[in-house]
Structure 1
């Protein structure tokens, strides 16, 4: 396949958070307004390597003058590589401005990164694994949250419309607040029916 043309794009959003109740008994509010702008491109080097990448800036400002704004660099991506017709490698990145109900911080820039691998054994059995990392660094506050996930997946297709799947996921949550740290193991089994 010949490389496809690049396509450039831009995105923008305006946000407004309005709370019916104050956050604290003293009347502290978390009402805020903000925006996010992104510019990026989609690409298709071949049928086996394609995706999109965007960069930008986001900001959220409280109506309370003494509350520091959330602001930061944004990076989003979805890149797919298929080294063989039966194997898929995908990298995902996502950034967003996330408000919170903490008393001394409006919120954080939340960032996540995920690398996954899937391989189809025959046409009806797909096995995969993934690793993801998330972080939230709160503005005007020493609080930093981090989450590391590792997972294994398996899906068995009875036909194109019905499959049974299972997933095991291990999560380690780290925080500068030691009381917020935890470890979690999760197993899911389910049936998927598609129209």
Structure 2
């Protein structure tokens, strides 16, 4: 008797974020002002571009691989008794990935202009254009990975007793592989324009 068990567990989490605000241009203009007048025109724009990404990943893998081709009996036969077992092989595989952030911020400038056009005689005209831009990318990942792997392979415990013609026991090999792969985990990519 031969039994074979393979187990695979994959956990993944990814976040992608792209931010491009649409902004209008501003113009501060003093146009066709009266004589001896005082005129003040102001255009102000403020742009705040922020990406905040947070991931929490908890992986708990419990894998059990059991293979048994043993515990066979050929007893009390009038002729000969023999036991011939196959190999016992158990493989356990885990692959853990997760917590991937990709943020792209295109925080475009506004084109602010100021103009004084056709102002009156003796008038005082002030046109001001101001713009500010703030960019921020924040990424936070927290990951906990626990792999608990138990592998058993057995081909023994066979008996050939009390046979008139003799007894023979031949067992196969007992073995297997355990593979645990963790990663990539907690990968961050942030692209912020100048």
TM-score, normalized by the shorter chain, greater than 0.5: no
RCO comparison, higher one (Cα < 8 Å, 6+): 2
Q: TM-score with structure 2 length normalisation?
A: 0.23
Which has the greater radius of gyration?
2
